[in-house]
Amino acid sequence: MLDVGKWPVFALLPPEELRLIRQACVYGSAGNEAFYVTVNDEVFALGTNCSGCLGTGDIQNTIEPRRIDALCGKKIVSLSYGTGPHVVLATADGEVYAWGHNGYCQLGNGTTNQGLIPAQVSTNLLNKKVTEVACGSHHTIALTSDGEVYAWGYNNSGQVGSGSTANQPTPRRVSSCLQNKIVVNIACGQLCSMAVLDNGEAYGWGYNCNGQLGVGNNGNQQTPCRIAALQGINIVQIACGYAHTLALTDEGLVYAWGASSYGQLGTGNKSNQACPVLLNLDKERVIEIAACHSTHTSAAKIQSGQVLMWGQCRGQAIVSPHFTHFTCTDDVFACFATPAVMWKLLTVEGDDYLTVAQSLKKEFDSPETSDLKFLVDGKYIHVHKALLKIRCEHFRTLLNENEEESIEIQQFTYLVYRAFLEYLYTDSVSLAPEDAIGLLDLASFYRETRLKRLCQETIKRGISEQNAITLLSAAVKYEARDLEEFCFKFCVNHMTAVTQTQAFSEMDHDLLKNFISKASRYGAFKN
């Protein structure tokens, strides 16, 4: 379990208090301010309270946690901070609250008055549902549920995307070439802003003297500019450091650009890059990237669960990705970054008690408590009849008619059937994408709609040039329309490599004919 006690600002809290923390964020120029939410949805802050950034109503420092009444009971989904510092968060209801330093209008309330308590940011956002917020040094951007971006605050380099360099006192929609496009992910460097669209394109605007926008030059951009070098590459996540940017593709590859004086690009040297550079991670598939605008540190988590880091590490420069003993990217920032801050709002799972869901998960395949076992491929899986009846219509019928203590399954493999039974205990799927195809077959056979959807998500996350045709064929076979469309678009976006795979050469004739016809209509074969 991730331990918030690794961050020095939490060192004085007693263990019983730390165990109650469910969400937390450490921020500030020295990592000396902290915000956290308890298991009871109470909100507290502690630290040096620079510019009133604790939201406690005054500017008094405190080593004792102080309750922030205005935020208690709010379900917080996203939180970010600037270097003033100012703090901005979004709730599950889509409301935005801000407090702290406001010398450049970064609180979005139309003034430059310091904000001592959290206040709702309302101008132009009242009828919008904000799902994500990101702060630069003294500016803020917000993403809405309909894919629009709003920005406000400091704008000396065009970082609010308004087309000028005048500070923006209240939220204003970033339009220009983002008009009529759907944004799905946002991030901020110190003085720049980045956005990823639903079609995988990436855009940047603001300060660019270190090449952190990735547009091939060092000129500032006052409106969003598409990163042309990533044409045809589907970006799914973007993260910004102080003056560098990381991007994760749908294939689990990582590109980096911008400043590299501490090796934070991970290219093996300290040279700045104005265009995206593909990192060499020894063919490891990356599932998460991490960076923070107040540090020069980078991190990535690979599919096996291992975490790599590079860049500034306790004053040293690590110029190439380096394996750590951590299992989450957050630990990199607690132990290596200067200051020791958090790169995002952290969610912590408690270990002091087990919920019903955790208890059920623990008892899956437990011979001690089970009253039924399935024999699949010569191996037993131990389960509980009552839970299976509650969770699955198929078992409700089967077990009412069957009093045996052991049932043999021949239609599905052990790996697939075990994953199905584990899903009934955990509500989650943990399989390689190729194996998830078999589970998709089972989900279709048992009419498990939600499991079918989870299988599709697993397959989407694991698609690659090598397995794309296999996954497309499976989607067609099991009539998973959304997955079929996703796999088809992936194949078109990576057409050259996909058509050179063995799976393509062995493709079913009718499927191949339909694929070529559809790809042609899609414009895949135009010069």
Q: What is the mean pLDDT of residues 84-98?
A: 97
Give the pLDDT score at 1. 41
pLDDT reported for residue 138 = 98
In this model, does residue 355 exceed pLDDT 80?
no
State the greatest distance between any 2 C-alpha atoms of the chain, in Å, as a whole number: 76
What is the per-residue pLDDT for 349? Answer: 74
The amino acid that residue 475 corresponds to is: A
307-314, long-range: CB within 8 Å, 24+ apart, which pairs?
307/331, 307/332, 308/281, 309/336, 310/263, 310/264, 310/266, 311/241, 311/244, 311/262, 311/263, 311/264, 311/265, 311/266, 312/262, 312/263, 312/264, 312/336, 312/337, 312/338, 314/338
Query: Alpha-carbon distance 336 to 339, whole Å?
Result: 9
* Rounded average pLDDT over 188-197: 98
111-139 pLDDT tens trace? 999 999 999 999 999 999 999 999 999 99
Confidence of residue 146 (pLDDT cuts 50, 70, 90): very high
pLDDT tens track for 366-402: 999 999 999 999 999 999 999 999 999 999 988 887 7
**Overall pTM > 0.85:** no
Sheet strands (E) in 58-201 = 62-67, 76-81, 86-91, 96-100, 115-120, 130-135, 139-144, 149-153, 168-173, 183-188, 192-197
pLDDT at 195 (0 to 100): 98
Please tell me the least confidently modeled range out of 157-171, 286-300, 503-517. 503-517
Give the pLDDT score at 475: 87
The neighbour count for residue 398, using CB atoms within 10 Å, is: 14
User: What's the average model confidence in pLDDT over 156-170?
Assistant: 98
Report pLDDT for 55: 98
Given a cut of 90, is residue 420 above it in pLDDT?
Answer: yes
What are 194-236's pLDDT values in tens digits? 999 999 999 999 999 999 999 999 999 999 999 999 999 999 9
| Collapsed DSSP state (helix, strand, coil) of residue 243 | coil
Average pLDDT over residues 451-461: 88
Whether 522 has a pLDDT exceeding 90, the answer reads: no
Which residue type occupies 89? L
CA pair distance 457, 142, nearest whole angstrom: 26
Residue 352 pLDDT level (bands cut at 50, 70, 90):
low
Mean pLDDT (the chain, rounded): 93
Q: What is the pLDDT of residue 526?
A: 66
